[in-house]
Amino acid sequence: MLLMATLLDTAQRFRSLHVPGTPLVLPNAWDGASARVVADAGATAIATTSAGVAWSLGHGDGDHLTRVQALGMIARITSVVDVPVTADIERGYATGPDGVAETVRGVLAAGAVGINLEDTLRPVAEQAERIAAAREAADGTGIPLFINARIDTHRLPPGNRAAWLDETLTRARAYAAAGADGIFVLGTPDVETVRTLVGSQSLPVNVLAGPGALPVSELAEAGAARISAGSSIAEAAYGLVHRATRELLEKGTTTALKGGFDYAALNALLLTAGHGSGATAGLLPPEPAGRGGE
């Protein structure tokens, strides 16, 4: 009972952070260590990046994880942070609405209080049914899961802004009726487009921050309620791995490694981890035997 009350409080707190004009800024994490670093840097909530999670487990992005793998990483992340966690669950790791509902119950059991659910441009009615199943599953637990409906109109052919906007708004309104709490529109929209998205439908608008995108201040002024880094931080981290490795192998130098997180500071930070929601009992696999400090 105490656990559910705590998760309820966390879910309500996460909802309250979505304020148009004063947006929730989410630097996305992909494993326990990155989540702990993000929280320590001052994030008020953490979003996972499904791409980063997949990459960290040696898979490509795009629905290549199993539900068990995804829930296991969500559980690891919630176990080491005290801030709300929202999980990117791609298409729900399921072919139909019943499977999406099962995934949502697993997400809540893992201690997360929000999800991203992408539509991959499937028929609107079909995606609305999946969102409704997620809503019913969450409500059945008594936890007001924040369902962020990702609208994948960035996949439409470029060039016809009016058609893009019409399709985006059609989907936003249908998803709101099905029980979504917010919409997530990918790409790098300009201020006018963000304002139109905010003013033409009822849900809080989530847009991306990152290379090529507007700064947070301008997105906030346009009315965004949530701004995510998506996979960009994970991409930068793996980019560093690639550059540093190439430099070491080809030149024998390590200048790319300057400015890294100090070993002692990072280790001390992670030694304080383990104070998360506590909703992960039974989901984490056994830890392998330790191997020193390598």
Q: What is the pLDDT along the chain (294 residues), one digit of tens a residue?
A: 456 669 999 999 999 999 999 999 999 999 999 999 999 999 999 999 999 999 999 999 988 899 999 999 999 999 999 999 999 999 999 999 999 999 999 999 999 999 999 999 999 999 999 999 999 999 999 999 999 999 999 998 877 888 999 999 999 999 999 999 999 999 999 999 999 999 999 999 999 999 999 999 999 999 999 999 999 999 999 999 999 999 999 999 999 999 999 999 999 999 986 556 544 444 443 333 333 333
Q: Quick check: is 198 in a domain?
A: yes
Residue 185, C-beta contacts closer than 8 angstroms, at least 6 positions apart: 150, 151, 153, 154, 168, 197, 205, 206, 207
pLDDT score at 214? 96
Q: Quick check: is 137 in a domain?
A: yes
pLDDT score at 29? 98
**CATH number of the domain to which 36 belongs:** 3.20.20.60
Count how many domains the chain has: 1
Q: Quick check: is 23 in a domain?
A: yes
Q: Quick check: is 261 in a domain?
A: no
Closest CA to 38 of 46, 108, 15: 46
Q: Enter the pTM of the model.
A: 0.91
Q: What is the 3-state secondary structure (H, E, C) of the chain?
A: CHHHHHHHHHHHHHHHCCCCCCCEEECCECCHHHHHHHHHCCCCCEEECHHHHHHHCCCCCCCCCCHHHHHHHHHHHHHHCCCCEEEECCCCCCCCHHHHHHHHHHHHHCCCCEEEEECCCCCHHHHHHHHHHHHHHHHHHCCCCEEEEEECHHHCCCCCHHHHHHHHHHHHHHHHHHCCCEEEECCCCCHHHHHHHHHCCCCCEEEECCCCCCCHHHHHHCCCCEEECCCHHHHHHHHHHHHHHHHHHHCCCCHHHCCCCCHHHHHHHHHCCCCCCCCCCCCCCCCCCCECEC
Q: Identify the domain containing residue 37 by its residue range.
A: 2-239
Q: Quick check: is 268 in a domain?
A: no
Q: Quick count: other Cβ atoms within 10 Å of Cβ 152?
A: 18
Q: Quick check: is 246 in a domain?
A: no
Q: Quick check: is 262 in a domain?
A: no
Look up residue 136 and give its two tokens: 């019913």
Q: How far is CA 153 from the centre of its chain?
A: 18
Q: Quick check: is 285 in a domain?
A: no
Closest CA to 27 of 36, 14, 18: 36
pLDDT score at 285? 39
pLDDT score at 276? 67
